[in-house]
Amino acid sequence: QVQLQESGPGLVKPSETLSLTCVVSGASIISNEDWWSWVRQSPEKGLEWIGEVHHSGATNFNPSLESRVTMSVDKSKNQFSLNLNSVTVADTAVYYCARGRDFTWGYWGQGTLVTVSS
Amino acid sequence: QSALTQPASVSGSPGQSITISCTGTSSDVGGYNHVAWYQQHPGKAPHLIIFHVSNRPSGVSSRFSASKSGNTASLTISGLQAEDEADYYCFSYTSSTIYVFGTGTKVTVL
């Protein structure tokens, strides 16, 4: 079955870059039907969509984060990544990766907590 | 893009039915049939229970049903059970080519 697993540092310093990777198993990241998304959740903001990437390199981002976000796909490792730069404490959240197909996200990773603190 | 508006909490007794509303605009809920609902238990990832306004994925109980009227989507849980106690979020595609979640509703089974 399709599984997604996030990984990355659990602690990031303010002004630095948050980098996360999502490894996909049970599905091919080069499927034309699929978009690969990042979502975060904090008590203050609830669930917030960050953006999505297609294996072609196409991306869509939440306008509120667009200036700080990059996403990419690594086809050789069947994984995709998120970089969020210039982080502040407001970026502290649980970060999820998810697979989007036909505007539906049926598969999610378990989530990883990222804390921004000096 | 503002979050979709949901009631903060809804409660009901076992066996009862409850309905959760999700209010957006013509640029999101009202403009597209790409509305979904997610159930989230504490410490877990969101779990898809409704997609494309009213469709249930395989394996999701028929006690969950949903609909949309104008800019408001609704999720109904029939025959409420203890395991239904969780947070529920609506979700919609928007005209800005982005996605937006609802503010979330905590369902309590009395």
What pLDDT was estimated at residue B2?
Answer: 83
Closest residue on chain A to B103 (Cα): A46
pLDDT in tens, B46-102: 999 999 999 999 999 999 999 999 999 999 999 999 999 999 999 999 988 789 999
Measured between CB atoms, which of B36, B93, B101 is closest to A48? B101
* Facing residue for A46 by CB, picked from B32, B98, B101: B101
Residue B43: the pLDDT is: 95
Instruction: State percent of chain A over pLDDT 70.
Output: 100
**Contact criterion met (CB below 8 Å) for A24 and A37:** no
- Name which of A47, A108, A111 is nearest B101 (Cβ-Cβ): A47
Question: B104 in contact with A at a CB cutoff of 8 Å?
Answer: yes
| CB pairs A-B closer than 8 Å | 52
Whether B41 has its CB under 8 Å from any CB of chain A: the answer is no
Closest by CA position to A47, among listed B53, B94, B91: B91
The Cα B23–Cα B69 span in angstroms is 10
Interchain pair B99, A63: CB under 8 A = no
Q: Dihedrals φ, ψ of A76, to 5°?
A: -70, -25
Share of chain A above pLDDT 90, in %: 96
Q: List beta partners, residue B47.
A: B39
Please report how many Cα atoms fall inside a 13 Å half-sphere around the Cα of residue B4, on the Cβ side. 34
pLDDT in tens, B11-52: 999 999 999 999 999 999 999 999 999 999 999 999 999 999
Residue B96's pLDDT is 81
Q: Region A15-34: what's the mean pLDDT?
A: 97
3-state secondary structure of B84: helix
CA atoms in the 13 A half-sphere facing the CB of B29: 26
